[in-house]
Amino acid sequence: MKLMELIDISYIYHSADGETEAIKGVDLTIEEGGFTAIVGPSGSGKTTLLKIMAGLIKPSRGKVLLPENVKIAYMPQRDQLFEWRNILKNVTISQEIEKQDKREAERYAEELLDKYGLGEFKKKHPSALSGGMRQRAALIRTLLSRPRLTLLDEPFSALDFQTRLYVSDDVFRILSSEKKSCVMVTHDISEAISIADRVVLLTRRPATVKAIYRIELDKSAPPTVRRELAGFTEYFKTIFSDMESSDE
């Protein structure tokens, strides 16, 4: 089933100094159950594209088609946990805003926090958590609204390399055990191949879709394992050289 369809999306930034064409004629379909990674050189408008998908900004041209009652959740680059709220209050904020039943929200939150090893931290404040744990809490906050589609903006970019590897395993494990469809934006090609089953390569600004790759690696293997699989390097080489050639 199609969760989202982008048709001829363009976006132009306007400022007093002039206009910048960030995205130009992007067509993209997101299917249920898939994990799509959008990669591209930095400054290529990936985050803008994701924000358009999240409904945070309106495209200058084109349409975002969304079947009714497809709930979307957006996870920004940094965890953006609120320091004055404890973890439980942080992850249930979306339900608080929608004025949903607090008890039910907290019950589900505690279930997920327990399941993913944050149970004993639910009354703690974000500052008591490590970078990886904070990212996990941010992901649980994203999942708590039971979205059909989860949008992740460079979820590992704020972490150091080692943490990044283990957090990507973490995120992969949580997303696949909750059976979530995902779109992730990243500038790191190997990260994209290690976690997604489809990689969309964008060109330099103005961004257009340069190529889409199916990643036929073992889908059940976590990212760190996938990085060791035969074929991983080939994907990397292909996408990397395609990305380089788009520079010219």
Partner 1 sequence: MSEEHRLYLKKLKTRKIVIRIAQFGTLIFLLGIWELAAYLEWADPFIISSPSRVAKSIASLYSSGELFTHSFASLWETVLSFTLSTVLGTVIAVALWWNDFLRRVAEPYIVVLNSLPKIALGPLIIIWVGAGKAAVIVMALMISLVITIISALQGFSSVDSEKIDLLRSMGAKKGMIFLKLVFPQNIPNLLGILKINVGLSWVGTIMGEYLVSREGLGYLLVYGGQVFRLDLVMASTVILSVLATAMYLLVGLLEKLVSKHFSDGGTFK
- Bond prior to 206 in cis (omega within 30° of 0): yes
Would you say 178 and 143 are in contact if contact means Cβ atoms under 8 Å apart?
yes
Least gap, CB of 159 to partner 1 (angstroms) = 16
Among 8, 96, 218, 234, binds partner 1 (CB under 8 A): 96
Q: Is 86 in the site for partner 1 (CB under 8 A)?
A: yes
Among 33, 56, 214, 241, binds partner 1 (CB under 8 A): 56
Q: What gap in Å lies between CA 109 and CA 239, rounded to an integer?
A: 38
Find the part of the chain contacting partner 1 (CB under 8 A) among 90-98, 202-210, 228-236, 237-245.
90-98
Least gap, CB of 71 to partner 1 (angstroms) = 10
Q: Of the two residues 44 and 145, which places its CB atom closer to partner 1 in the complex? A: 145
Q: What gap in Å lies between CA 129 and CA 87, rounded to an integer?
A: 9
Q: What gap in Å lies between CA 246 and CA 34, rounded to an integer?
A: 26
* 150 to 71, 75, 87, 220, 239: CA distances (angstroms): 9, 8, 20, 19, 24
Q: Of the two residues 153 and 191, which places its CB atom closer to partner 1 in the complex? A: 153
First to last CA, the chain: 37
Find the part of the chain contacting partner 1 (CB under 8 A) among 47-55, 160-168, 217-225, 228-236.
47-55
Q: Is 84 in the site for partner 1 (CB under 8 A)?
A: yes
**Location of structure tokens 């994907």:** 235
Among 6, 22, 30, 54, binds partner 1 (CB under 8 A): 54
Find the part of the chain contacting partner 1 (CB under 8 A) among 9-17, 58-66, 83-91, 216-224.
83-91
Q: Is 148 in the site for partner 1 (CB under 8 A)?
A: no
Half-sphere exposure (Cβ direction) of 82: Cα atoms closer than 13 Å: 11
Q: What gap in Å lies between CA 143 and CA 140, rounded to an integer?
A: 5
Residues in touch with partner 1 (CB under 8 A): 51, 54-56, 72-74, 76-78, 80, 82, 84-86, 89, 93-94, 96-98, 123, 125, 145
